[in-house]
Structure 1
Amino acid sequence: MTKSTMHKSTSSKQNKSLLQGRRDLLKLAAALPLAGSLGACASATAPSTTTVAASKAPVGKPPIQKPIVVSTWEHGMPANAAAWQVLSQGGNALDAVEQGARVPEADPAVRTVGLGGYPDASGEVTLDACIMDHQLNCGSVAGLKRIKHPISVARAVMEKTPHVMLVGEGALAFAKAQGFVEENLLTEQSKQDWLLWREQGKAKSQINLENHDTIGMLALDSHGHLAGACTTSGAAYKLPGRVGDSPLIGAGLYVDQDVGAATATGLGELMIKTVGCHLVVELMRQGLNPQQACQRAVERIAAKIPNAAEAQVGFLALSVNGEVGAYCLHGGFNYAVQDASGATLTDAIHLLPGVVA
């Protein structure tokens, strides 16, 4: 072997050694943020549940848990029950989330969704909703008036038009053409609350009572297909024309059959600015489980958006294997889960100390 050849061989070995060293450093650097996040998760407020909490997922790839349906807030319990009627009989996830979402839409006692929802500043109830299946098919409506079930109108947009979103008068005209019936959505209770708010001026709304403004649902059916739905009457006493995250694919809802699905609740502007639900799903794609992904998304919002702590934000995620995770900024957000083992309502882990009204 000539000196030149020996030099090239030695140089090649050194380059390979340097390259491997750089790769090792990159792997270590990539692992550090996750380790920090996991440490924060371990030290955060632990979730409480109305029933026995699920055990920790085993090391390695978890077994597929299906069918299963999850949703935001306490009104997710009856919504999940309706969705479970579909899932438990072998029905598909898309039908399940639509049927589930229709329950709070029709319940005047649920003041942030559908009939009886809080109006905007002018006293008009306007509704937003979106729906998405495992094939990236999706439909959405925003600023819809006088139609009780915007989730079903959103599905009609998905299945009967080449579009994703219809808004305002166009959404109403489409809904009527599809046979949906107009009705007054402003109940007497919501009207009186609005009149009181107007008399008192711009009263500060309560984070977990008026501004959670949504129900988001995610389902995994017995065929292994995911779907999601999100429906709302929006933030209480919003400016007329305001649209939050709930009807926006990627912000208030996102479904990716390869990874999982996520939905959001809270002040929609925060999710819009970060494309929050798409962020959660992408973090899951990078290897985080649903719980870790939801936490990381909340932490990003808290770190990057000034005054984020003045509002609530929460994420709920479901993996394609049936793993569930949730995380929120303030205490007070809970989520419902239903599968073959029964139904549970769990308080989500939160970033900031204390629980707000």
Structure 2
Amino acid sequence: MKIIIHGGFFSESNQSHEVKVAKQDSLKAIAKKSYDFLQNNSAFDTVAYAVSLLEDDDLYNAGIGSQIQSDGIIRMSAAIMDGETQKMSGVINIQNVKNPIFVAKELMKEDDRVLGGNGAKKYANENGFGDFSTEIPQRRKEYEEKLKTGGKGTVGAVALDKHGKLAVATSTGGKGFEIPGRISDSATVAGNYANQFCAVSCTGVGEDIVSNATSAKIVTRVTDGLTIENAFDRTFEELKEIDGFAGAIGIDSEGNVFHQDSYPTMVFASFDGVDFEVFG
């Protein structure tokens, strides 16, 4: 059993040592909680749980504390994919829900599994997800400052359970001050993809990740016989051709865990029940 999670990027030049330590501690705690949850639950349920914990922590740009778009409104996107069934469900630009990932998970039972905007919100309300403002005090001022330094962030989780099943989930609050209606990579197969061989979640600039088809490429290459390390390396070499800004985490069916970024440092943590690896 393995779990790896990510929480966007960290820059020494515009974030303090205290923020770095806070994110390290947070990611380590969430990875441990998620691994404990994985003991008695599927990879599919676990990645949703892990991402919900990341959404609930205002250190990250997902759920509570999400970025604000150019018209002053928070719109969030999230997706989940089951490697065994190869089905993905998601929400795009949903407003005023606490955990977009749980709405995405709820949609897995539907024939129409990816909903956007007002339709996603209506579905959430009809299925017991109440109204919840994810904006926290001072967020507008904070994100105006972050925008000047180009901060980017998304959260995600990949898990391998005791039955050898893989799953992935990804959630984002956007890039901040974007044109309303802009769609990120997080609820697409470019940013969130899994099958029986590999599962990958991305963070970074959504347009670059979509242009590179990052998650889908890595998973397909592992499926076709490349090692997970080689699949990551080849895909990130192609990302360089467009000067793409991205990070990715993944696990293959053999339990190999891998992560890579094009512009350090992606914040991540992994745990296998014995050893932690946390960004430094």
Q: TM-score, normalised by structure 2?
A: 0.88
Structure exhibiting the larger radius of gyration computed from Cα positions: 1
Q: Percent of aligned positions with the same letter in both sequences?
A: 26
Instruction: Show the counterpart of 1:115.
Output: 64
Structure 1 residue 137, shift from structure 2 partner: 2.1
Residues 176-221 of structure 1 show CA distances to partners (whole Å, capped at 9, x for unaligned) of: 0000010222111212335x56xxxx96442xxx21x211111000
Q: Which amino acid aligns with 2:73?
A: E
Residue 302 (str. 1) matches residue 240 (str. 2):
yes
Change (3 A) 1:68 1:262: same
Instruction: Show the counterpart of 1:193.
Output: 142
Residues 213-249 of structure 1 show CA distances to partners (whole Å, capped at 9, x for unaligned) of: 211111000111111100110112211111110011x
Instruction: Show the counterpart of 1:80.
Output: 31
Instruction: Show the counterpart of 1:263.
Output: 201
CA distance in 1, matches of 2:134, 2:147: 23
CA distance in 2, matches of 1:152, 1:81: 20
Moved over 4 A (4+): none
Instruction: Show the counterpart of 2:191.
Output: 252
Q: Which amino acid aligns with 1:95?
A: D
Q: Which amino acid aligns with 1:218?
A: V
Instruction: Show the counterpart of 1:52.
Output: none
Contact 1:69–1:83, Cα closer than 8 Å, also in 2? yes
Q: TM-score, normalised by structure 1?
A: 0.70
Number of aligned residues: 262
Structure 1 residue 263, shift from structure 2 partner: 1.2
Instruction: Show the counterpart of 2:2.
Output: 68
Structure 1 segment 206-217 matched on structure 2, within 5 A: 206=150, 210-211=151-152, 213-217=153-157
Residue 275 (str. 1) matches residue 224 (str. 2):
no
Contact 1:79–1:102, Cα closer than 8 Å, also in 2? no
List gaps (5 residues or longer) in structure 1: 1-66, 348-357
| Residue 269 (structure 2) aligned to one of 307, 325, 336 | 336
Q: Which amino acid aligns with 2:35?
A: W
Q: Which amino acid aligns with 1:106?
A: D
Instruction: Show the counterpart of 2:93.
Output: 143
Instruction: Show the counterpart of 2:169.
Output: 229
CA distance in 1, matches of 2:167, 2:176: 28
CA distance in 1, matches of 2:78, 2:148: 25
Structure 1 residue 293, shift from structure 2 partner: 1.3
CA distance in 1, matches of 2:123, 2:149: 33
CA distance in 2, matches of 1:122, 1:144: 15
Instruction: Show the counterpart of 2:80.
Output: 131
Instruction: Show the counterpart of 1:173.
Output: 122
CA distance in 2, matches of 1:203, 1:129: 22
Contact 2:35–2:273, Cα closer than 8 Å, also in 1? no
Contact 2:44–2:167, Cα closer than 8 Å, also in 1? yes
Q: Which amino acid aligns with 1:113?
A: A
Q: Which amino acid aligns with 2:34?
A: A
